[in-house]
Structure 1
Amino acid sequence: MKKYILIIAVLFAFVSCEEENIVFDSENGQTFANFSEESILVPTPAEGASIMVDVFVTTKADSDRTISLEVDPSSTATSDQYTISGLTIPAGAFQTTLTITSNFDALPALGRANLVLNLVDVSDPSNDLVLTDTPLELEFFRECPITPGDWVINMTDSFGDGWQTSTGNGGAGLTVTLDDGTVFEVGLCSPYDEEVGTFLTEGECTPNNGLEGTATITIPEGTTSAEWFFPGDQYGEIGFEIISPSGEVAGGYESADAGLLTIDYCK
């Protein structure tokens, strides 16, 4: 028993000595640097948008230090679509706050611009520098309020037999879900349904000559969000365009992948 107690005492003394040797030095120690965030969505209204991200370091210095960033080759954003400021850590500080501002006019009308930033240097010759390999990823996209009124969906089917979406006998149609829970569903009736006119889950579809048809949905005043979803194109025959109340083409689809649709509410 005494032998075991002696071994435990020696181990404890060893661990205690090891712990005492670990000293955090915020002035002369190694400098670790990293972003405070990993990924951010940046919806951009007409007046532009700004977001703030901190860069932290573990040591302080007697003089200002400059942050160096690198745009990763995977980025799709162009230099006119954003600006970055705040690249200086003040003397005696452990962080700086980057301000990243997006430019509405330069962003694509549809889709998103992706910006990936790598932290490559913090000017401080007195300390060793260790950088995290986690980049900062930003996605810029235009954000406009939804225009209330009548939205027109012009639908086509190149084979002339109506829409077959998620199944060969029809399936669900294009759905529009508003923030208040209202759901619109549109599609061309298919003669392959057991009963023409039951193509959609709501029991309605647009009568047509097999090739084309038009449906209209009314988005009311006060609507803040609308999710447009297309379930798919079973045979690669379907097309449609979405016309805003102002008469502009705000979105569309032609034999592409299923999923959420990007609608340009700025039109």
Structure 2
Amino acid sequence: MKKYILIIAVLFAFVSCEEENIVFDSENGQTLAKFSASSILVPTPTEGASINVDVFVSTKTDSERTISVEVDPSSTATSDQYTISGLTIPAGAFGSTVTITGNFDALPEEGRVNLVLNLVDVSGSNDIVIENSPLNLEFYRECPIAAGEWTINMTDSYGDGWQTDTATGGSGLTITLNDGTVLEVGLCSPYGSAAGTFLGDGECTPNNGSEGTVTITIPQGTESAEWFFPGDQYGEIGFEIISPSGEVAGGYESADAGLLTIDYCK
């Protein structure tokens, strides 16, 4: 009886190992294809801008293959605003790098356009399965940052200052320069402390909770500035950002928290 039990145990172990030892076939097996990203911002300066996105495939062949993509109907970008290249997978390779280039001159002076690409097929591939599609790209004009005095006009419709990332006040609109300098502006709240320089003098003035104007100086040579709005607890906050040339370059009313897009082309 013990011999039979031993034989059965050995057979079971052998079958279990066989089931787990799956061999992947990179030449004749099923092909998985996908983009390496799903969403990309493409700030485009006057000379244009290119971004690279890898298309991975799980099989290889001894001849070139063509990647097929199509523009989704939800796209707002027109064909003159971008070009696509790199849609060929070399023989023996598991993918290719697709290059999408934005055309500054064709992009709108204000706002963004989006290009949604669907990965459709890879020629010469067996039983293809597409994953991580579509790819969404947002193009907008990127101009050099204007040095000088920027003006921020701020309002609160209820008249009690800003309640941003907390219900009793919170931090203000922050501008982080590439050298690490952080500027912060906002309307002070009477309900709690608020960080940063508010109304330009570092003093909270809760009796002036309806509106206020502050100026900041962006020095010559600044290469980048990140504008961040922490949030609007009660949907009461408004502001507009005026460039040194006097143009409205950005601003929101009852905005969601996050990075702001500033139109430096103005």
- Say if 1:165 and 1:233, in contact at 8 Å, map to a contact too: yes
Distance 1:206 1:186 in 2: 13
Q: Hey, what does 1:129 align to over in structure 2?
A: 127
Q: CA deviation at 1:217?
A: 0.6
Please name the residue that 2:178 is paired with.
Answer: 179
Question: Residues of 1 paired with 2:220 and 2:42: CA distance?
Answer: 25
Tell me which residue corresponds to 2:67.
67
Q: CA deviation at 1:145?
A: 3.2
Does the C-alpha gap of structure 1 residues 235 and 18 become closer, same or farther in structure 2, counting only changes over 3 Å?
closer
Alignment CA distance shift 1:55-1:173 (3 Å):
closer
- Looking at structure 1, the residues matched to 130 and 220 of structure 2 have their Cα atoms a distance apart, in angstroms, of 47
Task: Output the CA distance in 2 between the equivalents of 1:38 and 1:55.
Answer: 9
Residue 223 of structure 2 aligns with which residue? 224
CA contact (8 A) 2:161 2:208 kept: no
Q: Quick one: distance in 1 between partners of 2:185 and 2:212?
A: 10
Q: Which runs of 5+ in 1 are unaligned?
A: none
How far apart in 1 are the matches of 2:16 and 2:170?
Answer: 67
Percent identity of equivalent pairs:
66
In structure 1, give the amino acid aligned to 2:37.
E
What RMSD in Å do the two structures reach over aligned CA positions? 3.7
CA contact (8 A) 1:174 1:230 kept: yes
The Cα shift of 1:262 comes to: 1.6
Change (3 A) 1:49 1:33: farther
Question: What is the deviation of 1:250?
Answer: 1.0
Is 1:46 the counterpart of 2:46? The answer is yes
Gaps of 5+ in 2: none
Please tell me the residue identity of whatever aligns with 1:228: W
Structure-2 residue corresponding to 1:7: 8
Question: Given the two structures, how large is their TM-score scaled by the length of structure 1?
Answer: 0.74
Q: How far did residue 36 of structure 1 move?
A: 5.0
Alignment correspondent of 1:100: 100
Residues 204 and 182 (structure 1), Cα distance of their counterparts in 2 relative to 1, 3 Å cut: farther
Tell me the equivalent position of 2:153.
154
Alpha-carbon distance between aligned partners in 2 of 1:208 and 1:25, rounded to the nearest angstrom: 71
Q: Distance in 1 between matches of 2:187 and 2:20?
A: 73
- Residue 7 of structure 1 aligns to a residue whose secondary structure is helix
Letter in 2 for 1:163: G
**Shift in alpha-carbon separation, 1:47–1:237, aligned structure 2, 3 A:** same
